[in-house]
Every structure is written in structure tokens, then in C-alpha cells.
Amino acid sequence: MGQVSKEAHDVAMRVEAFVREVVAPYEQDPRCGSHGPTDELCAELRSLAKEAGLLVPHIREDGSHFSHLDTALILRKSGLSPLGPIACHVMAPDEGNMYLLDKVGSSEIKERFLKPMISGEARSAFFMTEPAAEGGAGSDPSLMQTTCRRDGNHWIVNGRKAFITGAEGARVGIVMAKSEEADSAGGACMFLVDLPDPAIRIERVLDTIDSSMPGGHAVIEIDHLRVPADQMLGEAGEGFKYAQIRLAPARLTHCMRWLGLAQRAQEIATDYACRRDAFGKKLIDHEGVGFMLAQNRIDLKACELMIDWCAGVLDTGDLGTTESSMAKTFVAETLFQIADRCVQAMGGTGVTGDTIVEQLFREVRAFRIYDGPTEVHKWSLAKKIKREWRDSQTDG
Ligand SMILES: Cc1cc2nc3c(=O)[nH]c(=O)nc-3n(C[C@H](O)[C@H](O)[C@H](O)COP(=O)(O)OP(=O)(O)OC[C@H]3O[C@@H](n4cnc5c(N)ncnc54)[C@H](O)[C@@H]3O)c2cc1C
């Protein structure tokens, strides 16, 4: 495994101080609602990060990215508060969307759509999932029902989407649709669109268990959206491939940010257990509580190592599809157990909104589903194991 560079280490330390001292005090701000912090609060936090020179801290001034391993440390520190990634502008879905546009976008697309995203002026949304009740794309993206067809030098898109994070208030949309054209039939296309657009109607913002992502998660109708052909990302029919390019690093950056929050939750639970008395001693001196915190310490380290291992694989240029799948599954499941133990160790206080421990519990519950539910990752890993076994039988 490689080493975190000194440059990244210094940035990470600055991010940590900024998040702890400047951002965390906003956690009880009334502008933090059930559909995420308001855009006004996001803008205020971003201007503070800009002042501190910590907006998109994993990208250097010349536009070059730190390595994935470096990014792991920086984003972990940003995650010490649920508002930290928003302030530093490394929050989902923007961070993954910026990565995708950087990798696949033409220079015109980068100039027009990516630039305002990097500067923090524009939020973005990624439109892939569709309503389950209508049999659309979910765990299985090949079920995609949203369609696109050529019309002169435009494409026409029609369909419905669900769970679109940040669609409310976003200025840039990346919309996925299945092609109806013979030369790209069965494949998907990705389009860059300016938002809001009257052809993209937000039906409702869902009430979900999590509350960290600005704009919440929307159900959307797309009715005769006309997109100029030069706003297609990459090639027609290659959309599922591009989704894979986005997916592995985006999964991993989620792990990095939530690990940061879990580390903070462990600090809060430790503080509680070391101060609180019960039955003649401090809670931490009761084995039942001390062991929970000890197990958390072990699990936090295991998550960190799993993330750094996968980041190292991505740094070799490998797509890291299997590794990110393994890391995402392990980290999401383990963080959920860590969060649960923090809540338990803190008794009633653990289930109140007085600390971020309760929010971590809710956020990581959702994380076990988005970016691929645990069972889907395991199912795909099992298929790989079987393939490898079959190959090993024919090799000899
Ligand atoms: C908070 C949140 C934010 C999201 N943000 C976005 C976004 O911005 N853009 C976007 O496009 N989508 C987004 N999603 C959607 C997310 O990607 C989907 O929820 C996810 O892919 C699962 O699809 P589904 O909900 O339709 O579940 P389903 O496909 O209906 O699956 C339900 C359950 O079935 C099980 N399952 C499915 N397949 C298998 C299998 N092969 N083997 C074993 N078990 C299986 C799993 O347990 C799974 O949880 C978000 C979801 C959430 C919860």
C-alpha cells in the first residue's frame, strides 16, 4: 500500500481543524432540515471554506487531483461533521459527478458544466434510478425504461426517475436513458442538462431516513426533454460503461466521508461513557460498554484499511470494480454496527438529535442501500467466485 503524501497530509489537517472549529457549530442550525441543509446554509458554509482555501481540497489549484489514497484522508477529515463535505464541496452526488465529467466530458462540456460545479456555484444531480412500482431501473439498471431517440441534431428523452439526490435546487443534471436508435440499441446514453428545465418536473421530494444531502431525493417526470446532441456525454450506447467509471470512486468517497463521521461519533460516545456514572463507576468501566467502544476502535481501523487498500488499487489505474464493491459492502455494514453501538452506549441521549450520533445511524442505514445494496455486491462477488472456480477447473 502506498503512503499519503505530505502535501495531502497538510491539507487534511487543515480540513480537520476547519470542520471541527468552524463547521461543526452549525450542526444545530435550524436550516438543517429533513431534506438536507438549505441552499442558503450550503452557500454560507462554502464561502467559509473558500475563505479558508479549502473548497474542493482534494483538487489542486492547477486542476490536478490528489491520488485516491490522499483523497481518502482528506475526505475522511471533511466527514467529521455531516456538514463538512458540503462546506468543502466534496459531497455526493457532486463529487462523483465532477469525477465523471472530468474523465469523460469533452472540453466544451467541461467548460460549460464542470467549471461552475468545481467553483461551487452549481449543484448537480445524477438521474439513473426509476420508480420500483413501475418496474424501472434500480439494483438492475438494465431495467431502464426512460428512453431517448434522435430528432435532427437533438435527442428527445422521456421517462420517470426516483431517488434523485439534490435534483431540487440543482443547476446541472446528468440524465441516463436507454437508446431507441438502431446503432446504439439496448445501450444507454448520458446527457448533460441545464436545470431547472420545464420538461423535468419534480413530482415530490421523498421523506427518507437520511437528512444530510441538500435537496433531498426526488421523484421526477421527464416529458419530451429536448437535448442538443453535443450535450451527450461521450458516445451513444456507452452510458452503462460511464456509470461504472463513476461508480467505483463514488462508492469509495462515500465510505471515506461516513468513516469520518463514525470516528466523530465514537469520540462523542467515548466522552459520554467516560463521564457518566452508573452503579458506582463510570460507564466505560462496565465491560458491556467498554467492549462496545473497543470493538468500535477495531472496526474503525478495519474500515480505514479497507478504504486505503481499494484507493491504492484505483491509484494503479485499475477500475477497481470488485475491490470497491468489497470495500463498500464491508464499510457500510460495519459503520452501521459502529453507529448502533455508539447509540447504545449513550442511552437515551443516543437517539436524540442533540448529537450527530443519531444522524450517523440514520445516514449509514441508507448507505447500505445506495451505491448498490449489500446483497447485490455479494451476489456479484459470488458470481465472480463461481467463474474463477470454473476457470480453475478447465485450466488444469
Ligand atoms: C438515500 C438514497 C439516495 C439515492 N440517490 C440516488 C441518485 O442520486 N441517483 C440515482 O439514480 N439513484 C439514487 N438512489 C437509488 C439507489 O441507487 C437505489 O435505491 C438502489 O440501486 C437500489 O434500487 P431499488 O431501491 O430499486 O431496490 P431494488 O432493486 O428493488 O432492490 C431491493 C432489495 O432487493 C435485494 N436485491 C436486489 N438485487 C439482488 C440480488 N441480485 N441478489 C440479492 N438481493 C438482491 C437487495 O436487498 C435490495 O436492497 C438513491 C437511493 C437512496 C436510498
Question: Which among 139, 325, 374 is the best mutation to test ligand 1's pocket, defined by most ligand atoms within 8 Å of the CB?
Answer: 139
Peptide bond into 93 cis (omega under 30): yes
270 found inside a domain: yes
**Residue owning the nearest CA to atom 19 of ligand 1:** 370
Q: Let me know whether 227 and 267 are in one domain.
A: no
Residues with CB under 6 A from ligand 1: 93, 126-129, 132, 138-139, 163-165, 208, 210, 217, 366, 369-370, 373, 375-376, 379
**Are 373 and 330 within one domain?**
yes
One domain, residues 220 and 132:
yes
Question: Based on the domain organization, do 248 and 209 belong to the same domain?
Answer: no
What 8-state DSSP symbol labels residue 208?
Answer: -
Three-class secondary structure of residue 80 per DSSP: coil
Whole-number pLDDT of residue 394? 83
Closest residue by Cα to atom 9, ligand 1, is 164
Residue with CA closest to ligand 1 atom 41: 376
Distance 141 CA to ligand 1 centre (A): 10
CATH number at residue 156: 2.40.110.10
Res 396: pLDDT: 61
The answer to whether residues 244 and 371 belong to one domain is: yes
Work out the number of other CB atoms within 10 angstroms of the CB of residue 280. 7
Cell numbers of 51, please?
475563505
Instruction: Tell me the C-alpha distance between 74 and 72, whole Å.
Output: 6
- pLDDT digits over 303-328, tens only? 999 999 999 999 999 989 999 999 99
pLDDT in tens, 213-225: 999 999 999 999 9
Long-range pairs, 138-142, Cβ under 8 A, ≥24: 139/372, 139/373, 139/376, 141/176, 141/188, 141/240, 141/243, 142/240
Domain membership flag for residue 56? yes
Residues 365-383 pLDDT 10s: 999 999 999 999 999 999 9
The number of distinct structural domains making up the chain is 3
Query: 139: CA distance to ligand 1 center in Å?
Result: 5
- pTM for this predicted structure: 0.96
- Same domain membership, residue 137 and residue 169: yes
Whether 209 is in a domain gets the answer yes
Residue the block writes with cell 440499441: 185
Task: Select from 220, 236, 252 the last residue of a domain.
Answer: 236
256 in the same domain as 315? yes
Residue 150: inside a domain: yes
For residues 258 and 206, membership in a common domain is answered with no
Mean pLDDT of all residues in 23-44: 96
> Vertex 248, ends 233 and 205: CA angle to 5°?
70
- Is 158 in the same domain as 200? yes
Same domain, 257 and 340: yes
Q: Ligand 1 test: best mutation among 144, 163, 329, most atoms within 8 Å of CB? A: 163
368 inside domain: yes
Q: What range defines the domain where residue 371 resides?
A: 240-389
User: Are 265 and 349 part of one and the same domain?
Assistant: yes
**Cα-to-centroid distance, 138 and ligand 1 (Å):** 5
